[in-house]
């Protein structure tokens, strides 16, 4: 096995280093975050640095790049306090990836990539109509990360749309059944294949499998 020191990594070409480092945090959910500005113009962007913070209250956070690089989602959330997070099925990968392009102010990625914005009574922000699992978020806190000028955006879940076929009797959402993809780095997308679910782990107690 090769070992790469941080000194060596620092000397690599920028995009090579980016691909390498972006792969280290492993497979991640990739979701589309939809927002709207105060003029009613929507924005849609792909995010993979999305993390569960707590179940009660239901809190989810995501990392936003520096404002100069990715201003629209962050700005719209600051302006309205609302956004939606839309999971991505395999048939939408190309359109989802295309939303990461830098579109001009005032140009909605929904129409640019051919996805349908769905306004409901459940959020000021639109949902992605084509997404089979999506949820509405209300902003709670934005934590600036001074070290690299990124932001950790924390919101609470105010409502969830999910196909009932993927909802297990114990509340587990079997995202694989809706062909929800996972991502690696900033351009790799993967199908999912469930290996197992297990009972709650306790010291000295054998695990049982959940089907
Ligand atoms: C697979 C993938 C994952 C991404 N994940 C993030 C992320 O977690 N945070 C982020 O700020 N940008 C991420 N991006 C880049 C944004 O999609 C891109 O900057 C987008 O244009 C957002 O800018 P906007 O909010 O100004 O529209 C990702 C891009 C790709 C292709």
pLDDT of 64 above 90: yes
pLDDT of 119 above 90: yes
Q: Report the nearest-CA residue for atom 21 of ligand 1.
A: 100
User: Which of 15, 27, 34, 70 maximizes ligand 1 atoms within 8 Å of its Cβ, making it the mutation to test the pocket?
Assistant: 70
Check pocket membership of 86 for ligand 1, CB cut-off 6 A. no
pLDDT of 211 above 90: no
Q: What is the pLDDT of residue 170?
A: 96
Q: Class of 27-186 per CATH?
A: mainly beta
Section 75-98 average pLDDT: 98
Higher pLDDT, 105 or 13: 13
Residue-wise DSSP of the chain: -----HHHHHHS-HHHHHHHHHHHT-SEE-EEEEEE-TTS-EEEEEE--EEEEEETTEEEEEEE--TTTS-HHHHHHHHHSEEEEEE-BGGGHHHHHHTTS-PPTT--HHHHHT--EEEETTEEEEEETT-SEEEEEEEEEEEEETTTTEEEEEEEEEEEEE-GGGB-TTS-B-GGGGTB-EEETTTEEE------EEPPP-TT----EE-
pLDDT of 147 above 90: yes
Q: What is the pLDDT of residue 3?
A: 98
Section 58-69 average pLDDT: 98
Section 49-56 average pLDDT: 98
Percent of the chain with pLDDT over 70: 100
What residue segments make up the domains of the chain, in order of their start? 27-186
What is the model's pTM? 0.97
Q: What is the mean pLDDT of the chain?
A: 97
């Amino acid at each position: 096995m090769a070992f790469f020191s941080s000194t060596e990594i620092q000397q690599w070409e920028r995009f090579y280093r980016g691909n390498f480092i972006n792969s280290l945090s492993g497979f991640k959910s990739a979701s589309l975050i939809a927002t709207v500005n105060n003029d009613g113009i929507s924005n849609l962007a792909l995010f993979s640095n999305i993390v569960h913070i707590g179940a009660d209250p239901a809190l989810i956070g995501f990392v936003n790049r520096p404002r100069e690089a990715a201003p629209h989602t962050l700005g719209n959330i600051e302006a309205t306090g609302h956004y939606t997070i839309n999971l991505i099925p395999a048939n939408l990968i190309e359109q989802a990836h295309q939303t990461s392009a830098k579109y001009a102010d005032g140009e909605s990625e929904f129409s640019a990539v051919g996805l349908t914005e769905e306004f409901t009574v459940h959020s000021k922000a639109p949902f992605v109509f084509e997404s089979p699992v999506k949820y509405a978020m209300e902003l709670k806190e934005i934590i600036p990360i001074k070290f690299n000028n990124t932001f950790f955006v924390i919101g609470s879940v105010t409502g969830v749309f999910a196909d009932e076929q993927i909802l297990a009797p114990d509340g587990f959402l079997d995202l694989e059944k809706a062909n929800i993809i996972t991502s690696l780095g900033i351009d790799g997308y993967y199908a999912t294949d469930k290996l197992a679910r297990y009972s709650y782990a306790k010291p000295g107690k054998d695990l049982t499998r959940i089907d």
